[in-house]
Chain A
């Protein structure tokens, strides 16, 4: 578990000496094995918070606990090799092959060569890159989405219990982003890492976050499940930030199949179980019905989805 206690980062204006708090009195626990989305408007201190966890930025106050350790008690390099880090600009090493990039941390940790090689292949396969095809390529030969996959593989290479991600899917077009988000959710289902994921994309936070920590101007506004934030905002700031269509955004992250239940589907308009619930709602409005038939991958009707089921999303 990662715990932040009264964390603070102050910058003093070099000219006026005026203090500016990028992060102020931030106390927060990131639960083990879950994704916590660190959400907030631009400049609210998300990146600063993330980079204080692996000490790329030194806090000016407060404490960070990683497991039992105080982050300050570890050598920064030691700490960083135990914490995976995916940076926003991807930052692959351009002169090294994909395999060498992924091997970075295991090599720093002095793993034997054969173990590193096996691990690299395993990880490339995990992130959906055929090892034989991609291991020898240079980063410049990859698409943005493929590069980001390598970035994720590199961060996971030494099997760190904790993963820090700064807008990992930010640089991608919507289609590639959706695909990578799905892939990432599947990977996490097996790995159960403790993940802190910075994002300013509300949809992404609601879709991927088991928990969401919403920040505003350096301080925590609300911490809870996506449902908490959407249905039980603690302040006007939270409500406004998520927007009046917050519920629709949440529906967009849920496949219709997950909300469907058994029922009489006779004569109802059909939708695929993979269609997201927001689109299902749109179909209801278009067809002027309040119940839809949901079909499985073979096209067989597997259940029904009603207006009232959407509330369970």
Chain B
């Protein structure tokens, strides 16, 4: 799939636009995989940090902490991506690290806010019964709260992953590679077809990721 689609796409776009498409230093399928890798690595870190964060701030008696977490993650999304990357480069240098930092910060927002919403939506009688049956806090979390909030959390993960497929294209400007490469090459060579190919591949990647995660959720139910 990953190898086939870029090839087919190149042919089609080239014929449609009537432009010759230059070959890039790295083949498109490899750029696609690179792109996917960036997004997945960021998403794993987002989950490892975002889910525990949502759990911690939704424990009883931490309303203030929860509002703080929501405010900070909300703020994260209002800062432009470019600004984050620009600020990160002086510290982290060029390449993958600043891109991953940006992806992490953007991906964290929907995961944390959906995680919080999902955990808060577990209704009181259910929690009360769990406590009354003699579950410890940890057992209640694992057996009741997390499974019940999973659908809402997964919706956040989908949003986060789809956003980040888009955001990751900017990484090419920092030399991270990925599907931003044909876009930037296309812009500098004034080759629209190349730009279109990069954008289309990114969109396809986002759609298939969304679809796969959707299937995973449905299989869980």
Contact = CB atoms under 8 A, between A and B. Distances in A.
A77 B136 CA distance: 6
Interface in B149-208: none
A85 B131 CA distance: 10
Interface string B119-151: 000000110111111111001000110011000
Interface size class of B (residues with CB under 8 A): 10 to 19
Nearest to A76: B134
A95 B133 contact: no
A78 B144 CA distance: 19
Given A93-B130, A94-B148, A95-B148, A108 B125 contact: no
Nearest to A51: B132
Contact of A104 (B125, B133, B136, B147): B133
B145 to A, nearest CB: 10
Contacts of A78: 134
B219 to A, nearest CB: 15
A56 B131 CA distance: 8
Given A93-B126, A94-B126, A87 B132 contact: yes
A76 B139 CA distance: 14
Contacts of A77: 134-136
Which of A54, A79, A104, A154: most chain B CB closer than 10 A? Answer: A104
A54 B129 CA distance: 12
Contact of A95 (B125, B131, B139, B147): B147
B126 A108 contact: no
Contacts of B135: 77, 104, 108
A259 B160 CA distance: 72
Nearest to B127: A91
A202 interface: no
A80 B128 CA distance: 12
Contacts of A215: none
Contacts of B134: 76-81, 105, 108
Contacts of A79: 134
Nearest to B131: A56
Contact of B125 (A54, A80, A91, A105): A91
Contacts of A88: 125
Contacts of B131: 56, 80
A81 B128 contact: no
Contacts of B132: 54, 56, 80, 85, 87, 91
A85 B135 CA distance: 13
B133 A108 contact: yes
B148 A87 contact: no
Nearest to B150: A95
Contacts of B136: 77
A205 interface: no
Nearest to B144: A93
B137 to A, nearest CB: 9
A237 B128 CA distance: 33
Given A91-B125, A94-B126, A80 B133 contact: yes
B128 A56 contact: yes
A91 B129 contact: yes
Contacts of B130: 93
Contacts of B133: 80-81, 85, 104-105, 108, 154
Interface string B6-47: 000000000000000000000000000000000000000000
Which of B126, B139, B148: most chain A CB closer than 10 A? Answer: B126
Contacts of B143: 93
A92 interface: yes
Contacts of B147: 95
12 contacts: A54-B132, A76-B134, A80-B133, A80-B134, A81-B134, A87-B125, A87-B128, A91-B128, A92-B126, A92-B129, A93-B130, A93-B144
Interface of B: 125-126, 128-136, 139, 143-144, 147-148
Interface of A: 54, 56, 76-81, 85, 87-95, 104-105, 108, 154
Given A77-B134, A77-B135, 7 more contacts: A56-B131, A56-B132, A90-B129, A91-B132, A93-B126, A94-B148, A95-B147
Q: Which 8 A-B pairs have the closest CB atoms?
A: A91-B129, A80-B134, A81-B134, A89-B125, A91-B125, A85-B132, A77-B134, A104-B133
